[in-house]
Amino acid sequence: MPPISLPPTPRLVIYYQTLHNPDGTPCSILPIITQPGIAVSHVNLAAIHLNDPPGNITLNDHVPSHPRYHTLWAELRVLQASGIKVIGMLGGAAKGSFTRLDLDDSTFEEYYIPLRDMIRERGLDGLDLDVEEPMTLAGVIRLIDRLKSDFGSAFIITLAPVAAALMSDNPKHNLSGFSYEALEVMRGSQIAWYNTQFYCGWGDVSKPDGYDYMIARGWPAQKIVVGMVTNPGNGSGWVPFEIVQEVLLTLKARHPGFGGVMGWEYFNSLPGDRERPWEWAAFMTRIVRGRLPAATEAPVATSNGAAEEKPNPFLLADGDAKAKSEAPLPAEFDYYTDGSLEE
């Protein structure tokens, strides 16, 4: 089939980590191109881990070449042939990958080169850096620079900060340790967008305030992708569809170039759940990649026409204007790996 021609924004990003059903059969991603009315732009394959010793790389719990992934790699090539970009997700809740890449230059090379070779072997279109452990600004810049040097300007580099990290420059308000504002100043031209986590206590997708505040702080709308959980079982902060729809339509109307949405994760996305997980993508296609109804226009302005100065919705405590001293910790929940508990 010929590649699908999609506009650059709004993006529709799906995280794909649970790769197998409970019976061990592959959880196919192909319905996002075979079912009607779906225009996914990017699939983020999760999660790549760099383990000890150097060169010990796993995709979730197994090496990328494991026979259980043969169907996966074949399906991802079909997605790419259909115009969808496939991006690897490095890191996530399992810590260690970025700690290893944040050491001295010699050690960095030992861990980085096998990662580079894996990206080449699998033909990935980019890498999503989900830094959920302390890392230095110099360390993440070194990694970005090497990726661009090795793969060229067309290689997609994204990051996945919690929403609070783009509302405050205080490192306590993110999981990565470094300042995302400083990173944007120094390497923003090399970063395609931010898959921003509006869930687990770090953001709220039930209202537009958080996104509005990021834009007021100077973040470009086209670089902020609104991340949400696709099922209450995937983390706290799930919001019903009728509310999400109004919020997304409002953001599209207010912010030309709105960056899009991402969903964590594919396998059990509502409303179809495990039986029809592609229905979430169909719903989001209609909302974020469809035509914007004129009735949703909702400009943010005061009565005298001046732009409204909004308070930080993350830092404000409930019912008062006292700033929180630290970011709330996400509620405990299980990150699914590949859905099969028995080997």
> Which domains are seen in the chain, by residue range?
11-296 (3.20.20.80)
3-state secondary structure (DSSP) of residue 227: strand
CA distance 155 to 74: 21
∠ at Cα 227 (221, 231), nearest 5°? Answer: 155
- Which amino acid does the sequence have at 157? I
When the pLDDT of each residue in the chain is averaged and rounded to a whole number, the result is 88
159-164-166-172 Cα dihedral, nearest 10 degrees: -90
**Range in 104-113, 166-175, 270-279, 325-334 with the lowest mean pLDDT:** 325-334
Residue 334 has pLDDT above 90, yes or no: no
The whole-number pLDDT of residue 310 equals: 60
The one-character DSSP state at 96 is S
HSE-CB at 230 with a 13 A cutoff on CA atoms is: 30
The two structure tokens encoding residue 123? 């033909």
Confidence of residue 4 (pLDDT cuts 50, 70, 90): low
CA distance 252 to 9: 10
The whole-number pLDDT of residue 289 equals: 86
CA distance 67 to 59: 12
Residue 324 has pLDDT above 50, yes or no: no
**Range in 32-36, 225-229, 270-274, 328-332 with the lowest mean pLDDT:** 328-332
Confidence of residue 173 (pLDDT cuts 50, 70, 90): confident
The whole-number pLDDT of residue 25 equals: 95
The whole-number pLDDT of residue 341 equals: 42
CA distance 244 to 196: 15
**Range in 202-206, 237-241, 317-321 with the lowest mean pLDDT:** 317-321
Q: What are phi and psi of 245, to 5 degrees?
A: -60, -45
* CA dist 66 → 40, 62, 71, 284 (Å): 27, 6, 11, 33
Mean pLDDT of 179-191: 97
One-character DSSP codes across 265-314: -STT-TTTGGG-TTHHHHHHHHHHSSPPPGGG------TTSPPP----TT
Mean pLDDT of 250-271: 97
* CA dist 88 → 94, 141, 343 (Å): 15, 18, 24
CA distance 237 to 205: 8
Mean pLDDT of 45-49: 98
